Amino acid sequence: MESEISLAPEILSSVEHALAEDIRTGDVTTNSIIPAQATLAGQIISKQSGIVAGLFIAQAAFQMLDKRVNLTSHVNDGERIEADRVLAEVKGIARAILSAERTALNFLGRTSGIATLTRQFVEEVRGTKTKILDTRKTAPNLRACDRLAVRLGGGENHRMGLYEMILIKDNHIDFAGSITEAVSRARKHRIGLEIEVEARSLKDVEECLDLGVTWIMLDNMSHEETRQAVMLNNGRAKLEASGNVTLANVRQIADTGVDYISVGALTHSVRNFDVSLIVSKVS
């Protein structure tokens, strides 16, 4: 499998730590039963339909234990696949493959689950101007993996972390005393960073617009309030709807005309995609 996708250092670090967590001083079962130079061939199989994502991460897991392990993909990351599809073939040193198997499949299952759910949301809003965003509600130390999966599912990434942009939320506003004061403090502290403000009412939206805020989050607003916010905004700022978004209501939200809908469920409530490794040959 050629490295068509360059994995971020954060992803490689996550894989390295996951392998260390699982193996620690050694895979006592595999090392006691499998000869050191034994080889095997196997197939990674999908056991459900959906969007595959994370084959390059799985490859990295195997090759961190032995660079001679070869993973040949039969599908592309981001591709829709059906159940019982052969996703890839794995060949190489048996100990490395068996010891890395669970880590590789854990990453592949999680990222494919995120990509599959993301694609469902993206398809629900197809034909509108609205784009689906992820949030920071990711698994600890897996954010880079989760964000990659969202992109492969057709969604877009919001800020990577607290350092990347200023997002003034309700607690910040309450502490400062007003949106105006919070924005003033933020602008003085970090000139040049984009500022997004969470609005809890149409009055908040008006205040943000008066301040020249360019990105406004509409927090848990009703569909009617969201529609009024879009009319009030009239294209001046980017509008992001957020809060209690589901597959059942995401289209209705998109039809209001917002630019973005952020969906925490993409990463905090993902259902693992079912994949397995079937050994076909040992030597």
Q: Are 141 and 17 in contact (CB under 8 A)?
A: yes
Rounded CA-CA distance 42/214 in Å is: 52
Q: Are 36 and 92 in contact (CB under 8 A)?
A: no
Rounded CA-CA distance 168/199 in Å is: 9
Catalytic pick from 91, 136, 169, 185? 169
Q: Is 219 a catalytic residue?
A: yes
Catalytic pick from 101, 124, 196, 198? 198
Tokens encoding 71: 């993973």
Considering only CA atoms, which of 120, 165, 117, 110 is closest in space to residue 143? 110
List, in order, residues 6 or more apart from 72 with CB less than 8 Å away.
1, 88, 89, 90, 91
Strand ranges in 74-126 using DSSP code E only, listed in sequence order = 80-81, 86-93
Q: Is 129 a catalytic residue?
A: no
Catalytic pick from 22, 66, 102, 151? 102
CA dihedral 201, 207, 212, 215 (to 10 degrees): -10
Q: Is 67 a catalytic residue?
A: no
Tokens encoding 31: 């090392």
Q: Is 102 a catalytic residue?
A: yes
CA gyration radius, the chain: 23
Can you state the angle between helices 94-124 and 9-23, rounded to 10 degrees? 130
Catalytic pick from 91, 131, 136, 137? 137
Q: Is 203 a catalytic residue?
A: no
Which residue has tokens 């360019």?
214
Catalytic pick from 22, 123, 194, 219? 219
Phi-psi region of 92 (alpha: psi -120 to 50; beta: other; left: phi over 0): left
Which residue type sits at 68?
R
Task: Cite the active site residues.
Answer: 102, 137, 169, 198, 219
